[in-house]
């Protein structure tokens, strides 16, 4: 039972959240539209990594009761900025532009 549920979650997260975010990153970075150049596996993995980092912040804070930076908005803002700058820096090579 767990495997189909996990697959549905992954597909839902990618189709409803991560792929649209990839499209918005492309717009912000003046990169080709995802309709012209499909999203690469590496683009999607970068978003999973960011998602995982933000999720794990909440685990450290709320489950492990670790000492974490209290300003979550600053963490998200910084993570998004890093993602955008990284996308700008490497996507041209990645997408063979």
What pLDDT, on the 0 to 100 scale, is given for residue 81? 94
The pTM for the full model equals 0.84
Of 12, 56, 19, 46, the C-alpha closest to 34 is: 19
For each of the chain's 97 residues, which pLDDT tens digit applies?
Answer: 568 889 999 999 999 999 999 999 999 998 899 999 999 998 999 999 999 999 999 999 999 999 999 999 999 999 999 999 988 888 767 776 6
Query: What is the C-alpha to C-alpha distance for residues 8 and 12, in angstroms, rounded to an integer?
Result: 6
What pLDDT, on the 0 to 100 scale, is given for residue 75? 96
Query: What is the C-alpha to C-alpha distance for residues 18 and 80, in angstroms, rounded to an integer?
Result: 13
Query: What is the C-alpha to C-alpha distance for residues 20 and 34, in angstroms, rounded to an integer?
Result: 9
Query: What is the C-alpha to C-alpha distance for residues 91 and 97, in angstroms, rounded to an integer?
Result: 8
Torsion over CA: 8, 13, 17, 23 (sign): negative
What pLDDT, on the 0 to 100 scale, is given for residue 2? 62
């Amino acid at each position: 039972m767990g495997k189909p549920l996990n697959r549905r979650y992954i597909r839902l997260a990618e189709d409803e959240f991560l792929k649209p975010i990839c499209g918005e990153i492309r717009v912000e970075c003046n990169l080709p539209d995802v309709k012209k150049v499909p999203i690469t596996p590496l683009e999607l993995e970068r978003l999973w990594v960011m998602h995982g980092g933000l999720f794990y912040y909440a685990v450290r804070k709320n489950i492990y009761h670790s000492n974490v930076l209290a300003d979550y908005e600053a963490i998200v803002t910084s993570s998004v900025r890093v993602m955008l700058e990284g996308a700008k820096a490497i996507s041209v090579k990645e997408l063979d532009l």
